[in-house]
Structure 1
Amino acid sequence: MAVLGDAYTESEARELNQAACEILEEQPYKHPVVVPKCREAFDVLDSEVIKGYPNGYSELKPEDYSNISDWRGEPVHILGGSPELQWEEIQKLTQPNLAGDPPADIRGVDWNGFQKIAYLGEYWSPDGWQEADHLSIRETVRKSLEEIKKYWQEKNVWPETVPQDIYGDAVEEPDEYLWMDDGGDPITGREELEKAYIGEYEEKGKLAFKSEAEKKFIEYREDLTLV
Protein backbone atom coordinates (compact mmCIF):
# COMPACT_ATOMS: atom_id res chain seq x y z
CA MET A 1 0.00 0.00 0.00
CA ALA A 2 1.23 3.48 -0.84
CA VAL A 3 -0.74 6.37 0.68
CA LEU A 4 -0.33 9.32 -1.67
CA GLY A 5 -2.14 12.05 0.25
CA ASP A 6 -5.42 13.91 0.68
CA ALA A 7 -7.40 15.37 -2.21
CA TYR A 8 -9.02 18.58 -0.91
CA THR A 9 -9.69 20.08 -4.34
CA GLU A 10 -10.53 18.73 -7.77
CA SER A 11 -7.13 19.78 -9.15
CA GLU A 12 -5.35 17.98 -6.31
CA ALA A 13 -7.49 14.92 -6.98
CA ARG A 14 -6.44 14.95 -10.64
CA GLU A 15 -2.76 15.19 -9.71
CA LEU A 16 -3.01 12.39 -7.17
CA ASN A 17 -5.02 10.26 -9.58
CA GLN A 18 -2.31 10.64 -12.22
CA ALA A 19 0.38 9.68 -9.70
CA ALA A 20 -1.64 6.67 -8.54
CA CYS A 21 -2.25 5.45 -12.09
CA GLU A 22 1.47 5.75 -12.87
CA ILE A 23 2.28 3.64 -9.82
CA LEU A 24 -0.31 1.03 -10.84
CA GLU A 25 1.17 0.86 -14.34
CA GLU A 26 4.83 0.69 -13.24
CA GLN A 27 4.39 -1.35 -10.05
CA PRO A 28 1.12 -3.31 -10.22
CA TYR A 29 1.88 -5.14 -6.97
CA LYS A 30 1.46 -1.88 -5.05
CA HIS A 31 -1.91 -0.46 -4.06
CA PRO A 32 -2.02 3.35 -4.08
CA VAL A 33 -4.48 4.92 -1.62
CA VAL A 34 -5.85 8.44 -2.06
CA VAL A 35 -8.03 10.10 0.59
CA PRO A 36 -10.80 12.03 -1.22
CA LYS A 37 -11.66 14.98 1.03
CA CYS A 38 -13.92 16.79 -1.40
CA ARG A 39 -16.98 15.58 -3.30
CA GLU A 40 -15.36 16.34 -6.68
CA ALA A 41 -12.61 13.80 -6.04
CA PHE A 42 -15.03 10.90 -6.49
CA ASP A 43 -15.69 12.01 -10.07
CA VAL A 44 -11.97 12.28 -10.85
CA LEU A 45 -10.31 9.29 -9.16
CA ASP A 46 -9.91 6.19 -11.31
CA SER A 47 -12.01 3.18 -10.33
CA GLU A 48 -8.83 1.18 -9.65
CA VAL A 49 -7.47 3.71 -7.16
CA ILE A 50 -8.24 2.71 -3.57
CA LYS A 51 -10.10 5.41 -1.65
CA GLY A 52 -8.91 6.07 1.90
CA TYR A 53 -11.86 6.33 4.30
CA PRO A 54 -10.92 8.55 7.30
CA ASN A 55 -12.10 6.86 10.49
CA GLY A 56 -9.63 8.10 13.10
CA TYR A 57 -8.66 11.59 14.26
CA SER A 58 -9.02 13.28 10.88
CA GLU A 59 -10.36 16.83 11.08
CA LEU A 60 -12.73 16.04 8.21
CA LYS A 61 -15.07 13.07 8.43
CA PRO A 62 -16.51 11.35 5.33
CA GLU A 63 -19.98 12.74 6.07
CA ASP A 64 -18.55 16.29 5.94
CA TYR A 65 -17.97 16.11 2.18
CA SER A 66 -19.62 12.95 0.84
CA ASN A 67 -22.58 10.60 1.04
CA ILE A 68 -22.16 6.95 1.92
CA SER A 69 -23.32 6.17 -1.64
CA ASP A 70 -20.16 7.85 -2.99
CA TRP A 71 -18.07 5.11 -1.38
CA ARG A 72 -20.29 2.18 -2.37
CA GLY A 73 -18.98 0.18 -5.31
CA GLU A 74 -15.47 1.59 -4.80
CA PRO A 75 -12.28 -0.08 -3.49
CA VAL A 76 -11.89 1.29 0.06
CA HIS A 77 -9.24 1.24 2.78
CA ILE A 78 -10.43 2.13 6.32
CA LEU A 79 -7.98 4.59 7.88
CA GLY A 80 -7.86 4.48 11.66
CA GLY A 81 -10.33 3.59 14.38
CA SER A 82 -10.46 0.54 16.63
CA PRO A 83 -11.66 -2.77 15.14
CA GLU A 84 -15.17 -2.23 16.58
CA LEU A 85 -15.40 1.20 14.95
CA GLN A 86 -13.99 -0.15 11.70
CA TRP A 87 -16.58 -2.93 11.72
CA GLU A 88 -19.39 -0.39 12.16
CA GLU A 89 -18.18 1.55 9.12
CA ILE A 90 -17.75 -1.61 7.08
CA GLN A 91 -21.43 -2.42 7.74
CA LYS A 92 -22.46 1.02 6.44
CA LEU A 93 -20.32 0.55 3.34
CA THR A 94 -21.27 -3.01 2.46
CA GLN A 95 -24.71 -4.02 3.79
CA PRO A 96 -27.70 -4.01 1.39
CA ASN A 97 -29.64 -0.75 1.36
CA LEU A 98 -32.97 0.47 -0.04
CA ALA A 99 -31.24 2.25 -2.92
CA GLY A 100 -29.67 -1.01 -4.08
CA ASP A 101 -26.15 0.47 -4.06
CA PRO A 102 -23.36 -2.07 -4.63
CA PRO A 103 -21.19 -2.82 -1.58
CA ALA A 104 -17.80 -1.17 -1.21
CA ASP A 105 -14.83 -3.44 -1.87
CA ILE A 106 -12.99 -3.27 1.49
CA ARG A 107 -9.32 -3.78 0.66
CA GLY A 108 -7.85 -3.24 4.12
CA VAL A 109 -7.86 -1.47 7.48
CA ASP A 110 -5.21 0.06 9.69
CA TRP A 111 -4.91 1.49 13.20
CA ASN A 112 -1.95 2.45 15.42
CA GLY A 113 -3.86 3.14 18.64
CA PHE A 114 -2.81 -0.14 20.26
CA GLN A 115 0.86 0.74 19.72
CA LYS A 116 0.48 4.04 21.56
CA ILE A 117 -1.45 2.48 24.46
CA ALA A 118 1.18 -0.27 24.77
CA TYR A 119 3.49 2.36 26.29
CA LEU A 120 0.84 2.88 28.99
CA GLY A 121 0.92 -0.83 29.87
CA GLU A 122 -2.30 -2.04 28.24
CA TYR A 123 -3.28 -4.21 25.28
CA TRP A 124 -6.46 -4.11 23.20
CA SER A 125 -9.14 -6.79 23.40
CA PRO A 126 -12.81 -6.95 22.30
CA ASP A 127 -13.70 -6.70 26.01
CA GLY A 128 -11.76 -3.46 26.47
CA TRP A 129 -8.20 -2.51 27.33
CA GLN A 130 -6.42 -5.08 29.48
CA GLU A 131 -3.56 -4.61 31.94
CA ALA A 132 -0.16 -5.68 30.59
CA ASP A 133 2.35 -4.52 33.20
CA HIS A 134 3.86 -8.01 33.16
CA LEU A 135 4.64 -7.76 29.44
CA SER A 136 7.31 -5.87 27.51
CA ILE A 137 6.24 -3.20 24.99
CA ARG A 138 6.86 -5.61 22.11
CA GLU A 139 4.91 -8.38 23.84
CA THR A 140 2.05 -5.98 24.59
CA VAL A 141 1.84 -4.94 20.92
CA ARG A 142 1.95 -8.60 19.87
CA LYS A 143 -0.87 -9.41 22.31
CA SER A 144 -3.03 -6.64 20.82
CA LEU A 145 -2.34 -7.91 17.32
CA GLU A 146 -3.30 -11.46 18.34
CA GLU A 147 -6.57 -10.18 19.83
CA ILE A 148 -7.29 -8.09 16.71
CA LYS A 149 -6.68 -11.11 14.49
CA LYS A 150 -9.10 -13.20 16.57
CA TYR A 151 -11.67 -10.43 16.38
CA TRP A 152 -11.60 -10.35 12.57
CA GLN A 153 -11.55 -14.14 12.33
CA GLU A 154 -14.75 -14.26 14.41
CA LYS A 155 -16.27 -11.81 11.90
CA ASN A 156 -15.24 -14.20 9.09
CA VAL A 157 -13.31 -11.49 7.25
CA TRP A 158 -9.74 -12.61 7.93
CA PRO A 159 -8.03 -13.49 4.60
CA GLU A 160 -7.17 -17.10 3.84
CA THR A 161 -3.65 -16.08 2.81
CA VAL A 162 -1.56 -13.81 5.04
CA PRO A 163 1.79 -12.12 4.23
CA GLN A 164 3.74 -14.62 6.38
CA ASP A 165 2.54 -17.43 4.11
CA ILE A 166 4.01 -15.63 1.10
CA TYR A 167 7.05 -13.79 2.48
CA GLY A 168 7.80 -15.55 5.79
CA ASP A 169 8.04 -13.97 9.23
CA ALA A 170 8.90 -10.27 9.38
CA VAL A 171 12.13 -10.84 11.30
CA GLU A 172 15.49 -9.52 10.17
CA GLU A 173 18.07 -12.26 10.60
CA PRO A 174 21.77 -11.46 11.15
CA ASP A 175 24.39 -13.31 9.09
CA GLU A 176 26.10 -14.49 12.29
CA TYR A 177 23.94 -15.88 15.10
CA LEU A 178 26.18 -14.53 17.86
CA TRP A 179 25.81 -11.55 20.16
CA MET A 180 28.74 -9.32 19.24
CA ASP A 181 28.64 -7.73 22.74
CA ASP A 182 30.11 -10.83 24.40
CA GLY A 183 31.51 -12.58 21.35
CA GLY A 184 30.18 -16.07 21.89
CA ASP A 185 26.73 -16.40 23.41
CA PRO A 186 24.57 -17.88 20.62
CA ILE A 187 21.13 -16.60 19.68
CA THR A 188 18.95 -19.63 20.22
CA GLY A 189 15.43 -18.51 19.41
CA ARG A 190 13.04 -16.00 17.91
CA GLU A 191 12.48 -14.12 21.18
CA GLU A 192 16.19 -13.32 21.55
CA LEU A 193 16.42 -12.37 17.89
CA GLU A 194 13.49 -9.96 18.17
CA LYS A 195 15.12 -8.24 21.15
CA ALA A 196 18.41 -7.81 19.28
CA TYR A 197 19.73 -4.54 17.89
CA ILE A 198 20.77 -5.27 14.31
CA GLY A 199 23.41 -3.39 12.36
CA GLU A 200 24.51 -3.94 8.75
CA TYR A 201 28.14 -3.12 7.96
CA GLU A 202 30.26 -2.93 4.81
CA GLU A 203 32.87 -5.47 5.91
CA LYS A 204 31.09 -7.73 8.41
CA GLY A 205 27.52 -7.86 7.10
CA LYS A 206 24.68 -8.04 9.65
CA LEU A 207 25.57 -8.23 13.34
CA ALA A 208 23.41 -8.56 16.46
CA PHE A 209 23.80 -6.69 19.77
CA LYS A 210 22.04 -7.03 23.11
CA SER A 211 21.60 -3.29 23.64
CA GLU A 212 21.73 -0.07 21.65
CA ALA A 213 24.50 1.23 23.93
CA GLU A 214 26.70 -1.80 23.25
CA LYS A 215 25.97 -1.52 19.54
CA LYS A 216 27.18 2.10 19.46
CA PHE A 217 30.20 1.28 21.62
CA ILE A 218 31.40 -1.56 19.38
CA GLU A 219 30.71 0.47 16.23
CA TYR A 220 32.96 3.21 17.63
CA ARG A 221 35.67 0.88 18.96
CA GLU A 222 35.83 -1.30 15.85
CA ASP A 223 35.31 1.64 13.47
CA LEU A 224 32.46 -0.25 11.77
CA THR A 225 31.00 1.47 8.72
CA LEU A 226 27.22 1.12 8.31
CA VAL A 227 25.92 0.23 4.88
Structure 2
Amino acid sequence: MEAFKSGFLPGNREDSSYQLTEDHTNVRLPQGFLDNNYEDPDLDRFLKEFYNREPQVAVIGDAYNREQAREYQEVIDDLLDDYPRRRFIVAPKSEEAFDVLDPETTTLGYANGKSDIQAEDLGPAKFRGRDVHLLGGNPVEAYSAIEKLTQPTIDGRPPANVVGYDCNLPLRMAYWEYWTPDGWQDNAGMTPRETARRSYREIKQYLQEKDVWPATEPRELYGPAVREPDDMIWMDDGGDPIGTIEDLEKAYVSEYEDKGKLAFQSKTQKEFIEHREGLSQI
Protein backbone atom coordinates (compact mmCIF):
# COMPACT_ATOMS: atom_id res chain seq x y z
CA MET A 1 0.00 0.00 0.00
CA GLU A 2 2.68 2.52 1.01
CA ALA A 3 4.74 1.64 -2.06
CA PHE A 4 1.79 2.20 -4.38
CA LYS A 5 0.86 5.50 -2.73
CA SER A 6 4.48 6.63 -3.14
CA GLY A 7 4.42 5.92 -6.87
CA PHE A 8 5.75 2.36 -7.14
CA LEU A 9 4.15 -0.64 -8.86
CA PRO A 10 3.06 -3.25 -6.27
CA GLY A 11 4.22 -6.79 -6.77
CA ASN A 12 5.14 -10.03 -5.10
CA ARG A 13 6.75 -13.40 -5.61
CA GLU A 14 4.58 -16.13 -7.10
CA ASP A 15 4.73 -18.23 -3.92
CA SER A 16 3.56 -15.34 -1.71
CA SER A 17 0.35 -13.37 -1.27
CA TYR A 18 -0.38 -9.68 -0.82
CA GLN A 19 -1.32 -10.43 2.79
CA LEU A 20 -4.55 -8.49 2.52
CA THR A 21 -7.28 -9.87 4.75
CA GLU A 22 -11.05 -9.63 4.76
CA ASP A 23 -10.62 -6.62 7.03
CA HIS A 24 -9.20 -4.65 4.09
CA THR A 25 -12.60 -4.18 2.51
CA ASN A 26 -11.74 -0.86 0.87
CA VAL A 27 -8.32 -1.72 -0.59
CA ARG A 28 -7.82 -2.66 -4.22
CA LEU A 29 -4.14 -2.98 -5.10
CA PRO A 30 -3.12 -3.79 -8.68
CA GLN A 31 -1.06 -6.95 -8.94
CA GLY A 32 1.36 -5.31 -11.32
CA PHE A 33 4.60 -7.27 -10.84
CA LEU A 34 5.09 -11.01 -10.43
CA ASP A 35 8.49 -12.47 -9.58
CA ASN A 36 9.48 -16.12 -9.66
CA ASN A 37 10.92 -18.05 -6.73
CA TYR A 38 14.45 -18.30 -8.10
CA GLU A 39 15.56 -20.57 -5.24
CA ASP A 40 12.83 -23.11 -6.05
CA PRO A 41 11.78 -22.46 -9.67
CA ASP A 42 8.70 -24.18 -11.05
CA LEU A 43 7.42 -22.91 -14.39
CA ASP A 44 4.03 -24.62 -14.13
CA ARG A 45 3.45 -23.12 -10.68
CA PHE A 46 4.52 -19.72 -11.93
CA LEU A 47 2.21 -19.83 -14.94
CA LYS A 48 -0.73 -20.82 -12.74
CA GLU A 49 -0.15 -17.68 -10.67
CA PHE A 50 0.37 -15.59 -13.79
CA TYR A 51 -3.02 -16.56 -15.20
CA ASN A 52 -4.60 -15.93 -11.80
CA ARG A 53 -3.07 -12.48 -11.22
CA GLU A 54 -2.41 -11.30 -14.83
CA PRO A 55 0.41 -8.90 -13.91
CA GLN A 56 1.78 -6.23 -16.21
CA VAL A 57 5.37 -7.33 -15.54
CA ALA A 58 6.44 -10.95 -15.08
CA VAL A 59 9.86 -12.43 -14.28
CA ILE A 60 9.59 -15.82 -15.98
CA GLY A 61 12.83 -17.34 -14.69
CA ASP A 62 16.63 -17.64 -14.81
CA ALA A 63 18.13 -19.19 -17.93
CA TYR A 64 21.29 -21.12 -17.01
CA ASN A 65 21.73 -22.69 -20.45
CA ARG A 66 20.45 -22.60 -24.02
CA GLU A 67 17.71 -25.15 -23.36
CA GLN A 68 16.21 -23.17 -20.48
CA ALA A 69 16.39 -19.96 -22.48
CA ARG A 70 14.60 -21.63 -25.39
CA GLU A 71 11.87 -23.00 -23.08
CA TYR A 72 11.24 -19.59 -21.53
CA GLN A 73 11.22 -17.91 -24.94
CA GLU A 74 8.61 -20.36 -26.22
CA VAL A 75 6.46 -19.66 -23.15
CA ILE A 76 6.71 -15.92 -23.78
CA ASP A 77 5.82 -16.35 -27.44
CA ASP A 78 2.69 -18.25 -26.41
CA LEU A 79 1.72 -15.74 -23.71
CA LEU A 80 2.02 -12.83 -26.10
CA ASP A 81 -0.92 -14.15 -28.11
CA ASP A 82 -3.27 -13.47 -25.17
CA TYR A 83 -1.22 -10.82 -23.33
CA PRO A 84 0.30 -8.61 -26.04
CA ARG A 85 0.96 -5.59 -23.83
CA ARG A 86 2.78 -7.28 -20.96
CA ARG A 87 6.49 -7.15 -20.18
CA PHE A 88 8.19 -10.54 -19.82
CA ILE A 89 11.61 -10.85 -18.18
CA VAL A 90 14.18 -13.64 -18.28
CA ALA A 91 17.50 -13.38 -16.42
CA PRO A 92 20.31 -14.88 -18.52
CA LYS A 93 22.81 -16.81 -16.40
CA SER A 94 25.03 -17.99 -19.24
CA GLU A 95 26.44 -16.41 -22.40
CA GLU A 96 24.55 -18.80 -24.67
CA ALA A 97 21.20 -17.66 -23.22
CA PHE A 98 21.63 -14.20 -24.78
CA ASP A 99 21.56 -15.69 -28.27
CA VAL A 100 18.18 -17.38 -27.72
CA LEU A 101 16.19 -14.62 -25.98
CA ASP A 102 14.34 -12.48 -28.52
CA PRO A 103 15.08 -8.75 -28.07
CA GLU A 104 11.72 -7.89 -29.64
CA THR A 105 9.69 -9.69 -26.97
CA THR A 106 11.91 -10.42 -23.98
CA THR A 107 13.42 -8.06 -21.43
CA LEU A 108 16.71 -9.17 -19.92
CA GLY A 109 16.79 -9.49 -16.14
CA TYR A 110 19.96 -7.97 -14.71
CA ALA A 111 20.72 -9.99 -11.56
CA ASN A 112 21.83 -7.40 -9.03
CA GLY A 113 20.79 -8.91 -5.68
CA LYS A 114 21.56 -12.27 -4.04
CA SER A 115 21.59 -14.56 -7.08
CA ASP A 116 24.37 -17.15 -7.36
CA ILE A 117 25.37 -15.76 -10.77
CA GLN A 118 25.29 -11.97 -10.99
CA ALA A 119 24.98 -9.95 -14.18
CA GLU A 120 28.44 -8.57 -13.38
CA ASP A 121 29.81 -12.11 -13.79
CA LEU A 122 28.65 -12.11 -17.40
CA GLY A 123 29.61 -8.49 -18.02
CA PRO A 124 27.35 -5.43 -18.46
CA ALA A 125 28.39 -5.23 -22.12
CA LYS A 126 26.28 -8.32 -22.88
CA PHE A 127 23.14 -6.40 -21.82
CA ARG A 128 23.76 -3.30 -23.91
CA GLY A 129 21.41 -2.60 -26.78
CA ARG A 130 18.61 -4.52 -25.03
CA ASP A 131 15.65 -3.76 -22.77
CA VAL A 132 16.86 -4.44 -19.21
CA HIS A 133 15.13 -4.79 -15.83
CA LEU A 134 17.30 -4.56 -12.70
CA LEU A 135 16.61 -7.45 -10.32
CA GLY A 136 17.38 -6.45 -6.75
CA GLY A 137 20.11 -4.44 -5.08
CA ASN A 138 19.66 -1.27 -3.06
CA PRO A 139 19.02 1.98 -4.96
CA VAL A 140 22.68 3.07 -4.90
CA GLU A 141 23.70 -0.28 -6.38
CA ALA A 142 20.89 -0.03 -8.92
CA TYR A 143 22.00 3.42 -10.05
CA SER A 144 25.59 2.18 -10.35
CA ALA A 145 24.31 -0.59 -12.64
CA ILE A 146 22.36 1.94 -14.70
CA GLU A 147 25.53 3.96 -15.22
CA LYS A 148 27.46 0.88 -16.36
CA LEU A 149 24.67 -0.06 -18.76
CA THR A 150 24.16 3.38 -20.30
CA GLN A 151 27.39 5.42 -20.12
CA PRO A 152 29.31 6.02 -23.36
CA THR A 153 31.96 3.47 -24.27
CA ILE A 154 35.16 3.80 -26.26
CA ASP A 155 33.93 1.33 -28.87
CA GLY A 156 30.55 3.08 -29.22
CA ARG A 157 28.36 0.26 -27.94
CA PRO A 158 24.67 1.23 -27.73
CA PRO A 159 23.31 1.78 -24.22
CA ALA A 160 20.84 -0.56 -22.61
CA ASN A 161 17.26 0.63 -22.26
CA VAL A 162 16.70 0.25 -18.51
CA VAL A 163 12.93 -0.14 -18.18
CA GLY A 164 12.50 -1.21 -14.56
CA TYR A 165 13.95 -1.94 -11.14
CA ASP A 166 12.50 -3.96 -8.27
CA CYS A 167 13.60 -4.19 -4.66
CA ASN A 168 11.99 -5.76 -1.58
CA LEU A 169 14.39 -4.27 0.98
CA PRO A 170 11.93 -1.68 2.44
CA LEU A 171 9.53 -4.46 3.44
CA ARG A 172 12.23 -6.85 4.64
CA MET A 173 13.72 -4.17 6.91
CA ALA A 174 10.48 -2.47 7.97
CA TYR A 175 10.57 -3.75 11.55
CA TRP A 176 13.96 -2.21 12.24
CA GLU A 177 15.38 0.30 9.72
CA TYR A 178 14.55 2.57 6.80
CA TRP A 179 16.75 3.20 3.78
CA THR A 180 18.51 6.48 2.98
CA PRO A 181 21.26 7.30 0.45
CA ASP A 182 23.64 7.42 3.45
CA GLY A 183 22.70 3.92 4.59
CA TRP A 184 20.09 2.23 6.76
CA GLN A 185 18.80 4.22 9.73
CA ASP A 186 17.18 3.00 12.95
CA ASN A 187 13.42 3.51 12.82
CA ALA A 188 13.39 4.93 16.37
CA GLY A 189 10.13 3.25 17.32
CA MET A 190 8.17 3.89 14.14
CA THR A 191 5.70 1.20 13.14
CA PRO A 192 6.70 -1.15 10.29
CA ARG A 193 4.28 0.70 8.03
CA GLU A 194 5.74 4.09 8.90
CA THR A 195 9.24 2.68 8.41
CA ALA A 196 8.43 1.26 4.97
CA ARG A 197 6.78 4.55 4.00
CA ARG A 198 9.95 6.44 4.91
CA SER A 199 12.09 4.05 2.85
CA TYR A 200 9.87 4.44 -0.21
CA ARG A 201 9.94 8.22 0.04
CA GLU A 202 13.73 8.25 0.41
CA ILE A 203 14.15 5.89 -2.55
CA LYS A 204 11.83 7.93 -4.75
CA GLN A 205 13.61 11.18 -3.90
CA TYR A 206 16.99 9.58 -4.60
CA LEU A 207 15.91 8.26 -8.01
CA GLN A 208 14.26 11.56 -8.91
CA GLU A 209 17.48 13.41 -8.11
CA LYS A 210 19.33 10.97 -10.38
CA ASP A 211 16.73 11.71 -13.11
CA VAL A 212 15.71 8.07 -13.53
CA TRP A 213 12.20 8.29 -12.08
CA PRO A 214 9.42 7.56 -14.65
CA ALA A 215 7.26 10.38 -15.97
CA THR A 216 4.07 8.38 -15.29
CA GLU A 217 3.47 6.57 -11.99
CA PRO A 218 1.38 3.39 -11.68
CA ARG A 219 -1.22 5.10 -9.47
CA GLU A 220 -1.94 7.46 -12.37
CA LEU A 221 -2.76 4.45 -14.54
CA TYR A 222 -4.64 2.31 -12.01
CA GLY A 223 -6.27 4.98 -9.87
CA PRO A 224 -6.19 5.11 -6.05
CA ALA A 225 -6.01 1.87 -4.09
CA VAL A 226 -8.43 3.12 -1.42
CA ARG A 227 -11.80 4.62 -2.30
CA GLU A 228 -12.39 7.80 -0.31
CA PRO A 229 -15.85 9.09 0.66
CA ASP A 230 -16.87 12.66 -0.17
CA ASP A 231 -17.02 13.42 3.57
CA MET A 232 -14.58 11.63 5.87
CA ILE A 233 -17.26 10.53 8.35
CA TRP A 234 -19.00 7.31 9.32
CA MET A 235 -22.64 7.28 8.17
CA ASP A 236 -23.51 4.43 10.56
CA ASP A 237 -21.93 6.00 13.63
CA GLY A 238 -23.68 9.31 14.04
CA GLY A 239 -21.43 11.13 11.60
CA ASP A 240 -18.27 10.63 13.66
CA PRO A 241 -15.06 11.34 11.74
CA ILE A 242 -12.93 8.57 10.25
CA GLY A 243 -9.89 8.72 12.49
CA THR A 244 -7.08 6.94 10.64
CA ILE A 245 -6.02 5.72 7.21
CA GLU A 246 -6.17 2.18 8.58
CA ASP A 247 -9.84 2.70 9.50
CA LEU A 248 -10.58 4.00 6.01
CA GLU A 249 -8.98 0.92 4.46
CA LYS A 250 -11.43 -1.23 6.42
CA ALA A 251 -14.44 0.91 5.47
CA TYR A 252 -17.34 -0.05 3.23
CA VAL A 253 -17.53 2.77 0.67
CA SER A 254 -20.18 3.08 -2.05
CA GLU A 255 -21.35 5.87 -4.32
CA TYR A 256 -25.02 6.86 -4.47
CA GLU A 257 -27.05 8.93 -6.91
CA ASP A 258 -28.09 11.69 -4.50
CA LYS A 259 -25.54 11.40 -1.70
CA GLY A 260 -22.20 10.81 -3.41
CA LYS A 261 -19.62 8.51 -1.78
CA LEU A 262 -20.48 7.39 1.74
CA ALA A 263 -18.47 5.32 4.24
CA PHE A 264 -19.74 2.71 6.70
CA GLN A 265 -17.96 0.71 9.40
CA SER A 266 -20.27 -2.29 9.11
CA LYS A 267 -21.57 -4.09 6.06
CA THR A 268 -24.75 -4.93 7.94
CA GLN A 269 -25.37 -1.30 8.89
CA LYS A 270 -24.53 -0.20 5.36
CA GLU A 271 -27.21 -2.45 3.91
CA PHE A 272 -29.68 -1.38 6.62
CA ILE A 273 -29.19 2.35 5.94
CA GLU A 274 -29.36 1.80 2.19
CA HIS A 275 -32.75 0.13 2.68
CA ARG A 276 -34.03 2.66 5.22
CA GLU A 277 -32.97 5.72 3.18
CA GLY A 278 -33.78 4.25 -0.20
CA LEU A 279 -30.22 4.81 -1.43
CA SER A 280 -29.45 3.73 -5.01
CA GLN A 281 -25.85 2.83 -5.79
CA ILE A 282 -24.27 4.17 -8.94
**What percentage of aligned pairs have identical amino acids?**
44
Q: Which residue of 2 aligns with 1:191?
A: 245
Partner residue of 2:181?
Answer: 126
1:159 aligns with 2:238: no
Aligned-pair CA distance for 1:152: 0.6
Q: Which has the higher contact order (CA 8 A, sep 6+)?
A: 2
| Contact preservation (8 Å) 1:124, 1:144 | yes
Counterpart contact for 1:93–1:103, Cα < 8 Å:
yes
TM (norm. structure 2) is 0.62
- CA distance in 1 between counterparts of 2:123 and 2:97 reads 13
Distance in structure 2 (CA, Å) of the matches to 1:22 and 1:194: 42
Task: Report the residue type matching 1:143 in the other structure.
Answer: R
Look up the match of 2:192.
137
Other structure's SS at 1:59 match: coil
Among 45, 63, 72, the alignment partner of 2:120 is 63
CA distance in 2 between counterparts of 1:20 and 1:187 reads 50
Which 5+ residue runs of structure 1 have no aligned equivalent?
Answer: 199-206, 210-227
| Corresponding residue for residue 225 of structure 2 | 170
Note the residue ranges of structure 2 that are not aligned, 5 or more in a row. 1-56, 253-263, 267-282
Contact persistence 1:24–1:32 (CA under 8 A): no
Q: Does 2:166 match 1:110?
A: yes
Equivalent position amino acid for 1:116 in 2? R
Alignment of 1:201-212 (within 5 A): none
Question: 1:76–1:104: 8 Å Cα contact kept in structure 2?
Answer: yes
Question: 2: CA distance between counterparts of 1:187 and 1:55?
Answer: 46
Q: CA RMSD in A?
A: 2.6
**Could you tell me whether the CA contact under 8 Å between 1:178 and 1:208 is conserved in 2?**
no
TM-score by length of 1: 0.76
Which residue, 58, 63, 79 being the options, matches 2:135? Answer: 79
CA distance in 2, matches of 1:81, 1:12: 25
Residues in 2 aligned to 1:161 and 1:10: alpha-carbon distance in whole angstroms:
36
CA displacement, residues 21-76 of structure 1 (integer Å, 9 cap, x when unaligned): 22233212211111111111100000130111100011111233x23221000100
Task: Evaluate the alpha carbon distance shift between residue 187 and residue 155 of structure 1 in structure 2; reply closer, same or farther with a 3 A threshold.
Answer: same
